[in-house]
Chains A and B, each alone.
Chain A
Amino acid sequence: MMAREPAWRIFAFEFNDSMFVPKTGQEKETNYILTRMGAKINRVLISGIIENKNIINENTFITGIVNDRTGTFHISADKNYSPLKVWSYLFSIEPPVRVLLVGKVRSYGESKNLDIRVENITECDSFIEDYWRLSAAINLVERIKIMKLALSEEKDKLLNMGYSEESLNSIFAAIENFKDTKIDAYLKTIKEMFGISQEEKNPEDVILQLIESLDFDGKGARYEDVVENALKEGFERTRVDEIIDSLLERGLIYEPSVNIFKKL
Chain B
Amino acid sequence: MDDKEIEKYVEDLYKELDGKISKEELRKIFNIWLSYNYSPEKVKEKILQKYKPGRILKIGEIKEEMKNINTVGKILTIKLTEKDGRRTYSGIIGDETGTIPFTTSREMPFKKGDVVRITNGYSGYFKDKLRLYIQQNSGVEKLDNYKIERVQTVPSKYTIDKIEGKSRNIETKMRILYAEERETNGKKRVSGIAGDNTGTIPFTAWNKKLEEGKSYIVKGAYAREFKGKIYLTIDENTEILELNEDVPVNEKIITLQEAIKSGIATGWFEGIFLEVSDDSGLIARCPVCRKILKGTECPEHGKVTPINDVIGKATFDDGTASGKVIFLRNEMESILQKNFEEILKMVVSTPGIPVIKEELEKRILLKPYRILGKLSVKDQNFFNITIFEIKPIGNKELSELKERLMGMV
Contacts and interface: CB of A to CB of B under 8 A. Distances in A.
A6 B382 contact: no
Contacts of B409: 141, 187, 190-191, 196
B317 interface: yes
A194 B405 contact: yes
A11 to B, nearest CB: 13
A239 B30 CA distance: 44
B254 to A, nearest CB: 12
Contacts, number: 115
A204 interface: no
Interface residues of B, number: 46
B272 A45 contact: yes
A174 interface: no
Question: Which of B157, B275, B367 has the most chain A CB atoms inside 10 A of its CB?
Answer: B157
Interface in B140-163: 156-159, 162
Contacts of A191: 409
Interface stretch (A60-68, A106-114, A220-228): A220-228
A139 B275 contact: no
A220 to B, nearest CB: 11
B85 to A, nearest CB: 32
Interface string B214-229: 0001000000000000
Interface stretch (B53-61, B280-288, B319-327, B351-359): B319-327
A5 B407 contact: no
A128 interface: yes
A123 to B, nearest CB: 10
Contact of A6 (B321, B393, B405, B407): B321
Given A1-B381, A131-B368, A141 B408 contact: yes
B10 to A, nearest CB: 25
Interface stretch (B67-75, B106-114, B289-297, B396-404): B396-404
The secondary-structure label for the interface of chain B is: mixed
Contacts of A232: 162
Interface string B367-388: 1100000000001111000000
A7 B317 contact: yes
A6 B408 contact: no
A3 interface: yes
Interface string A120-156: 1110100110110011011101100100000000000
B261 interface: yes
19 contacts: A6-B257, A6-B319, A119-B274, A120-B274, A122-B365, A130-B398, A135-B319, A145-B408, A162-B261, A164-B257, A214-B157, A216-B171, A216-B173, A217-B217, A221-B157, A222-B157, A225-B156, A225-B158, A229-B159
Given A135-B401, A225-B157, 12 more contacts: A4-B323, A45-B272, A120-B274, A120-B365, A131-B401, A134-B402, A139-B319, A187-B409, A196-B409, A213-B159, A214-B157, A228-B156
